[in-house]
Amino acid sequence: MRILNDRRGAVAGDATGTLTFDIVVTRHDLRDEAAFRNTGVLDLYAELFPPNERDAPDDIVRWVLSDDVGERREFSVGDQQLSYCLDSRCFILRAEGRAIGLGFFTYDHASELIYCNYVGVAKAWRGGGLAGRFYREMIEMLDALFPRNIGVVLEVEPYDRDRLAAIIGDLERTGVRRLAADQQTEIRRLLRVNWYDKLGYCFFCDARGMQPLECRSPCLDPSLLPSAWGGAEENYWLAWQSRTGAPSAEGERAGELWQRAVAAIYVEILAKSLVDDDPKGRRDYWDYATALVAQTLQQAATTEVRLARCLDAGGSELLSRWRRLSIDLPI
C-alpha cells in the first residue's frame, strides 16, 4: 500500500536530529510471525503494560497475522447463525530497526469503527512530541487502509476526581514524593486522559451533567467459572475521535454513535471473537456477554448523549496541581 512507503521515515529526528525512525505494519511490511517477533515489539508491549492489562502474546500474533484479516467468519451458537468481519493491525515505530513504539488497532467492518486496543511509546523516547507524531502517522495509515471508517473509539479507565484531589492534596501538604501503587494507578488515569485530550478525543457524556457515560466490559476470560465472570468485569468511559475531515457527532447522532460503539467493542470485537474459538462450549458465555451489553445499552437508551472534551475544568485544575509537584510518573 503506497501510503506506507510514502510515510516511511516521516516520523523522524531525535533531539539532535541524528536518528531516523520508521513505521512498519503487520501484513504489509511484516507478513510472518518470525518477522513480527524479531522487531522486539512483544518485549516492548510487556514493558509498557502491566500483566493485568496485557493479552497473551500468542493471541496478538494470531489476531494480527491470521485471524483478523478482513475476511468474514461465520459460526453457530445454538440455533443462532452469527458472523463478523475484523481487520487487526499492529503498527511498530522503530529506531534503527528496533521497536520503540506500538499501536494495535482493530477495524470492525460492520460498524465501520476503528477500535484502539493499545498505544504506547517507550519512556526513553517520549520527548519532543514523538508519541503524538507517531499516533498521527498511524491514523493517516488507518484512513488509507480503511477508507470507509468513520473514526476511532477507545476505552478509558475512569478516574475519581475526589480521590485524585485527596491524593494530590496530601502530597501538597506533606511534601512526600512517594506514592503507593493504587495512588499511582489513579494519577496515571488522569495523565492518560490528558494525553487523549491533546490528541483530540472527546468523551460520550450524559447531557444532564456532562459526566462521561460508563459502560461495563464483560469478563475477558470465558475459561473462568461462570460464577467468576461478574467479578472480572471492568467499567470504562468511551472516547471518540471522528475521522479527519468528517463532521463531529452532535445531538441525536452522538447517541446513535454511542450505541454503535458499545455494540462494536463488546459484541462484534470481543464476544464474537471469544465465542468463535469454541462455539459449542461457550454458549453460556455468549448469553452472559450479550445480556450485559444489552443492559448497558438499555440504561443509556433514554439518555441525551453529547460529546465533550476528555479533560473538563475539574480535571484540568487537578492536572495543573499535579504538575506543580514535579513528580516523574510515566503513564
pLDDT of residue 128: 81
pLDDT given at position 266: 97
Total domain count, the chain: 2
- 189 in the same domain as 63: no
Domain boundary among 149, 172, 194: 149
pTM here?
0.90
Same domain, 20 and 36: yes
**pLDDT score, position 6:** 31
Q: 125, 149, 173 — which closes off a domain?
A: 149
Of 117, 134, 149, which marks where a domain is finished?
149
206 shares a domain with 138: no
- Say whether both 19 and 161 belong to one domain: no
Positive/negative CA dihedral, 271, 276, 278, 279: positive
Do 129 and 210 belong together in one domain?
A: no
pLDDT per residue as tens digits for the range 138-179: 999 999 999 999 999 999 999 999 999 999 999 999 988 889
The pLDDT assigned to 330 comes to 79
For every one of its 331 residues, what pLDDT tens digit does the chain have, with 9 covering 90 and above? 222 233 334 444 444 456 789 999 999 999 999 999 999 999 999 999 888 788 899 999 999 999 999 999 999 999 999 999 999 999 999 998 899 999 999 999 999 999 999 999 998 898 788 999 999 999 999 999 999 999 999 999 999 999 999 999 999 999 888 899 999 999 999 999 999 999 999 999 999 989 999 999 999 999 999 999 999 999 999 999 999 877 666 655 899 999 999 999 999 999 999 999 999 999 999 999 999 999 999 988 889 999 999 888 788 999 999 999 999 887 7
Range of the domain at 183: 150-331
